[in-house]
Structure 1
Amino acid sequence: MRTLYFDCFSGISGDMVIGALIDAGADPVQMEEELKKLNIDEEYNLSWGKVVKNGITSTKFDVILTSKSEQTHEHSHSHGHEHSHEHEHSHEHEHSHEHEHSHEHEHSHEHEHNHSHVLHHNHGSRTYKQIVEAINEANFNESVTNRSLAIFKKIGEAEGHIHGLPLEKVHFHEVGAVDSIIDIIGAAILIHQLGIESVQSSAIPTGSGHIHIDHGIYPVPAPATLEILKGVPIASNDIRFELTTPTGAAIAAVLAETFGSLPAMTVESIGYGAGTKTFENHPNVLRIIIGEIQ
């Protein structure tokens, strides 16, 4: 059985997952084409390239918001923990331009009117219902649709529990931002593309210390991250930084069937996805290992 193992020794975030999958051999150009089905591609450009983290060559993935995006550059949302750290999408690229693949898009009116506009004109937030409708109407492969919906539901239920709201009333301020939509659906696209049949993961380190979100100063892990990781083994880690984001936590919590050490497998490919922050003695990367389990 073709299995993917998340080795989360430095946590997990959405952009690290995408970077690791690309590094392991997935095709980001095909992912980019598939994502156009959401009809929000005028709001962003994608970039990916090689960086070196503490001696490990890895792939850094970024979603770069364009002037057409309704989000602000700083992602000013009511639940700010998703973007309150440097681990998710920074706009300070650590790789040189000769290694960066930035993709500018041109859009015809014909293209723009062939799709639903449920994710447009959101005035800074997107509802759970809008995101579900957009995914269902995009006509992705069934496994991509199901994985994406399950991950969004996991985050929506966590946010709803924290804020005392039913799922249908949850507004995805930070998770509904363009970059997190790309991370979640992009990961589902690449996992399908690689022919993954099962997913396993290590325990999840969340980091330590405190972060500032719009509701005040909170300990790491942030409330949504901790809620999402209920039932998931959390690894201790003394790094004073938010290592695992809500998006990364949800990807691991939903997709991984088991959590533990690396299973016995014949390794076929390995990928390293870089986080933005660089630590002095700790490579800030997510490692994925893909292979066959008999």
Structure 2
Amino acid sequence: MAHDHQHNHLVQMLDLDAEVLEDFHRELVGWAGSLVGDRPRVVDLGAGTGTGTLALARHLPGAQLTAVDVDDEMLEHLRHRAADAGLQDRIRTVRADLDGDWPALGPADLVWASASMHHLADPARTLARIRDTLRPGGAFMITELDGFPRFLPDPGLEDRCAAEMDRLRREGGMHMHENWGARLTAAGFDLAGERTFELEIPAPLPPAARRYAQVTFARMRERLADRLSADDLAALDDAAATAAHRDDLTVRATRMVWVGRRPS
């Protein structure tokens, strides 16, 4: 049951992120679309609920897309969303553990990896495989984040949660805060773009953004249940319980983007 709640919160967070940070996602997809021709083959690595897959399919009506994830429930959610959007004929889903043996995914014109690269055990090995998946001249776009978005006017609680999440991720072998530009160059890519987005939505937030805050607080509470003090856990519970009615919350998030090209 606990797993079901955690999975549900993660799915909601991913879908709400796309809704609340719509302007950022639109700009990012437009940038990705500018890297390819009219009928590209696109691979979304770590596709999750399909936010990137669906956005790219809408933006690139001639594209054929492959969404890859290790989680069957995520892929099922993605397939339902694709069917609802009438995009199922252009999107195929592939279940794969990208730390294991890769299925045949190429040749691709664009590989997209949004908030997924930090999960993979061996970045150098993964980048070599992505390079082999791309056609000569193909593009690889990495989007990463510095942690959970922030919402509260007083940073103390979220600072403590962020520090503990960083420790948890390091213990789990995650590759947060990597210099992916240097990694791309070392893997034989030409670095074609790099940008940091500082995102902010001011108070008072619309209902979807307050729901985004509520779900994020609940997700942090689940991840850090055995790592925070009783006072901080109670504060997270209170933040989740009151988020829908607060008018002092903002959304603050940082996203980093790198583009590499396989040399022609």
TM range (shorter): 0.3 to 0.5
The structure that is helix-richer by fraction is 2
Structure 2-normalised TM-score?
A: 0.32
Higher RCO (CA-CA < 8 Å; seq separation 6+)? 1
